[in-house]
A = this chain, B = another copy of it.
Amino acid sequence: MSSENTPDDEDTFKILIATDVHLGYLEKNAIRGNDTYQTFEEILQCAKDKKVDFILLGGDLFHDNKPSRRSLHICTTLLRKYCMGDSPVTFNILSDQTTNFNTTQFPWVNYQDENLNISIPVFSIHGNHDDPTGAEGLCALDLLSAAGLVNHFGHSNSVERIEISPILMQKGNTKLALFGLGSIPDERLYRMFVNKQVSMLRPKEDQDDWFNLFTIHQNRSKHGPTNYIPEQFLDDFLDLVVWGHEHECLITPTRNEQQLFYVTQPGSSVATSLSPGEATKKHIGLLRVKGRKMNLQKIPLKTVRQFITQDVVLADYEDLFTPDTHQVTKKVEDLCYAKVTEMIEEAERERLGCPLTPEKPLIRLRVDYSGGFEAFSTSRFSQKFVDRVANPKDIIHFMRRREQKVDFKGLKNQLLFNKLVKTVAVEGLRVEDLVKQYFEAAEQKVQLSLLTEQGMGKAIQEFVDKDEKDAIEELIRYQLEKTQRHLQARGVTTEQDIDMEVGGFYQAMNRAKAHRIERGENPEDRNISDELGDVALDSDEGSDPFPPPSRGRGRGGRARGGRGRGRGE
């Protein structure tokens, strides 16, 4: 179903979907400072041009939990400018609005407020960047809500139990149930799903008449065993999930063959990192829903700064140079210069005829210099591109394939380490449990102030790109190295002392294992599909929406090299 044969009739919801606008990201940067504001304006202008019924945002409208005054001022101004006016809103809300909009003293949708003349209502969940804080549990969106400029929904006040009540909307004969869940730390939400503390409420009558749309802002990529939300956790009565948080634009809906719903991942409207996922061309979506059928039209964003990234592996250029070549570093630099120049030229060609696109592109060349090469001075290199690139200072990123750097010779605990790895790998303990318990034990026993949970959080982050098993091994190795350094720093040298300190880790592991058994989890057969064994995967013909075009990443963005695993921001 293309947009041509979808008449925008009185039964068709037209919804503009976007997410992760990150207003205020790098706003103090002389070159990129206005990027987020310009793109938000483009999105609002698009909604106005397309005469949508409403805008649906998937979280992280703001980059900072406490947005700057400028950021709030611009956002308020743009919303007032584009979303107020005389165009009538032609859908109704049938659900209890005091349940839907529970974060202000005005628990009704803004376009029904008789003191506000709203032409395009905005519905938004909060993201992890603009999540609620403080005793009142308010987030930046709530300031916009209080002013009547945004309808903040999907905010759960309870940490015990989440009940997601949909906003029930009707336009002509089409009934749309809009579910939303604002960002919650992944591991907590994961656990709540597993413990059946999350439920989605459906209207009791005419259940099959509703198109069920769900907006969520969580890790979709697997960052550690419980540090994401598997699509399988979501109810199978859903028709479409709008997945925020993940920045790579994978907006064309993909079908989850187990749950029989579709997932669209619009991706951020600004690159907040120079990782390959951000190089995929940015889009927003125009979603049409008529009855139980849907169609999602991709709309490329024109104001987004171009971002081109490439990988180069120096060892692949044996015909040009090896580490032993005379002036090899100069040759490497020349190669990089040529590559970057080529990328800039590609950006310039593509920008032709796109007056809204900012002039200077973001360029990232990842240089794998494993095998004995040396890094060259990037500051000198940057100078050459200062007028042509938006990020001159960090064009080049040197990296090495991870090599075994740890020397365990002389380590008292080599044996213990092996045991740990084996235990973890075989018994399937959760790294977080292990780590947490370890530090609890450590804190009680020796007050290892160096080894804080926070520091560990960072360590975990550093390993999330890797497979789970790798992560566990690396994490433990990291931990043991740190412990060793700590022991040395404290002058702990006797075998007994070492055993005491390192032993804490081992004890913690056993304790974690015991806990899992207490909770009725069998550490021996632990995998996600088992945990979900009792979730019914009924096939429901009625929930099968009109099939969208087959999934494809288009040209796969501009990332030429190995694309890393996506990571939400």
Contacts and interface: CB of A to CB of B under 8 A. Distances in A.
A77 B143 CA distance: 9
A66 B149 CA distance: 21
Contacts of A133: 69
Nearest to A114: B117
Size class of the A contact interface (CB-based, 8 Å): 20 to 34
A148 B148 CA distance: 11
Contacts of A143: 69, 72-73, 76, 143
A76 B149 CA distance: 12
Interface string A162-185: 000000000000000000000000
A105 interface: yes
A419 interface: no
A459 interface: no
A410 interface: no
Contact of A69 (B80, B84, B134, B147): B134
A104 interface: yes
A434 interface: no
Nearest to A119: B115
Given A85-B115, A115-B85, A115-B117, A138 B77 contact: no
A142 interface: yes
Given A76-B146, A115-B116, A116-B115, A70 B138 contact: yes
A116 B80 CA distance: 10
Contacts of A142: 69, 73
A106 interface: yes
Interface in A47-100: 66, 68-70, 72-73, 76-77, 80-81, 84-86
Given A77-B105, A80-B146, A70 B134 contact: yes
Contacts of A105: 77, 81
A101 to B, nearest CB: 13
A138 B73 contact: yes
B69 A140 contact: yes
A27 to B, nearest CB: 11
Given A69-B143, A76-B146, A114-B117, 20 more contacts: A66-B69, A69-B133, A69-B134, A69-B136, A69-B139, A69-B140, A69-B142, A70-B136, A72-B143, A73-B136, A76-B143, A76-B147, A77-B105, A77-B146, A80-B106, A80-B147, A84-B116, A85-B115, A115-B117, A116-B117
